[in-house]
Chains A and B, each alone.
Chain A
């Protein structure tokens, strides 16, 4: 009990969204993607955001990555050490360079930071091994399957040892079997480092499988609708977890929260099409 209190006391905020909003200028006026987002993510949390498509969750992540700047508010990422990056992103879809080998792709972030060659070899070697890519170190991406490419992307992000890992629907393009395998692998690698993760998905199953906390976002404009704690212990076995009734109930609950938003997003889409 006492220990718990102490560790509670140590919980520092790793990522803070304070009054964050994002408005895009479009031909038909302005489009508000994210509105008044206030969110504190504690260090070491696997935080998942679910929301209907077009709810601005990717925009939120891109702002955290520094690829977009917020129109309102601020995003703060607490930095532990200056010699490593604040964040690294695992992108949705094909993001590894077709012109580099698997090894060079995984080493990209380290090389951009001028990490000495010996360290690059060690670190990349480790993550290629953890992702089962060692045999493919000298292969080019066009020789790899979609799942393998996403493993390279994960290795690339982990290799830089960032303060925060940002993941933008990294498994959405994969088939069901590959998705489950990669979720298991991601959890295994994550257990080693317990990095703060901000993970975006449209799959409630994926959110419950991976996350410590889940935020449900509203349909356009994106706002926080609810934040749900995931009570399951770690390390998790994905298949066993999915067989438990508690898992099903939580998925059902979150779906209940999300359902209205998805329907609303669909209706808005239909209206826009008309």
Chain B
């Protein structure tokens, strides 16, 4: 950093165009790289600070145990297999809920976007039930589906369904009418209109819906498992509270955060593969 300042100063004195200096700096460290660097440094810094404050007992370690002790619990839970089992159970529920919610939402969203009568019929139903907090439906879902697997899967499915159906429909509606004219003019069948125009045209919107749905699914699976389950990460966190194992609680939280992070990353990559035509 010091060399750079000196260099810049030299350039300024040689030719009084200050822009040269800033251009050189931009080349050294592009804003993207420095942003990414900050993204790593910031959380690391917080962990270090947390560790220091916990070790010196400035913060109450009953609520905020030192990161090192959380890491130890993490390893311990991995050894016993508890963490893997609970993670696997949650992921399975998440997966099936996702499939059960996203697939019908996709089909319904495309149909609503393409056919006005169906849209007029169903849109009020969808938009009317959308604002109900999904967590508030949990007791009803437990009543209907019992305490077994189905109730968890249904909760995730409901959470995924709404963002996907609404975004898919909007995605089809924003497709310029001229593309539909092209389809009609070149004799596209009903199925071809779906496959070659509605689906690819709405894909950027659909992906946004899927990402929102994934986030919603993760929230709901945690909640559902806290109340009506004997396994899963949500159950693990809730159970940790009842036995006052704060470390385990943190391990659960970190695991869910990791799943969310990996999910987002994976969906972003999927988007890049599926939508090669987007201007970047």
Contact = CB atoms under 8 A, between A and B. Distances in A.
A160 B181 contact: no
A121 B100 CA distance: 40
B196 A140 contact: no
Interface in A52-85: 65-67, 85
A142 interface: yes
B178 interface: yes
Contacts of B201: 97, 99
Interface string B245-280: 000000000000000000000000000000111110
Given A95-B178, A97-B179, A99-B200, A67 B186 contact: no
A260 interface: no
Interface residues on A, range: 20 to 34
Contact of B197 (A87, A97, A113, A156): A97
Contacts of A91: 178, 181-182
A91 B181 CA distance: 9
Contact of B277 (A88, A112, A142): A142
Given A108-B196, A140-B277, A97 B188 contact: no
A36 to B, nearest CB: 26
Interface residues of B, number: 22
Contacts of A85: 186-187
A146 interface: no
B57 interface: no
Contact of B182 (A87, A95, A140): A95
B141 interface: no
Given A67-B184, A99-B203, A112 B197 contact: no
B173 to A, nearest CB: 16
A141 interface: yes
8 residue pairs, one from A and one from B, having the closest CB atoms:
A99-B200, A109-B186, A140-B277, A142-B279, A99-B277, A89-B185, A112-B187, A112-B186
